[in-house]
Structure 1
Amino acid sequence: MTFASQCDYRASIMKIDSILHRIKSYRAAQGLNASQWAKLVGLGDTTFRNMHSDDWNPTVATIRQCEKAIPPDFMNNANDDDPADAGETAPSDACSDRGDNQNAAA
């Protein structure tokens, strides 16, 4: 795998993580339990049984159903409440500088 493809892969994983975080945050902000969330989204309860586990691995169809239930302006940036509220700094993106600026000093 080339460096560029590794960065693209990392970016897509980070995007998925942000989407899942947005879904979980919206459910928590609304104070909904798994059954209530499932009903709102239009899916079965078992789909959300492990929602707050790191092992939760929803399908693309599930993610799309969840996104339909969330207002577009809710957490436009999925990290709006992280990590700034906790006083932490966001991790740096190791792939952000690919050496595109050849004039910069090393």
Structure 2
Amino acid sequence: RKGLQPASLYEAQRAARGISTGLMSETGREDIPHIVVETNRVRVKSQKDAWISIYTTHGSMVQMLKSSSGNWVESMPLNDDFYVVRVQEAGQKAYSRKVLIRTVGK
């Protein structure tokens, strides 16, 4: 439901235990990396130098990219599926987002 607090009981329980999945947006963080989903790939831009890791939802890493501050970096082509994009900026808490990748003609 819209406006429901907590938005995710699962995330609230993990936060109470001091554990984070990184799949929920971090509130109060103004420098969240930009993640753009395009046809069969993702593009990421971070404010600082960062490592970008792309995982399957089962936890297998499929790509790792290095970005420099303020520049866009583009993944290699990906298959139709859900992925988790994790951005680790120097000196910041890692930011993750689940995305759905689609290929042309789907």
Q: TM-score range by the shorter chain?
A: under 0.3
Larger radius of gyration: 1
Structure with more helix by fraction: 1
Structure with the higher strand share, 1 or 2: 2
- Structure 2 length as normaliser, TM-score? 0.23
TM superposition score normalised by structure 1: 0.23
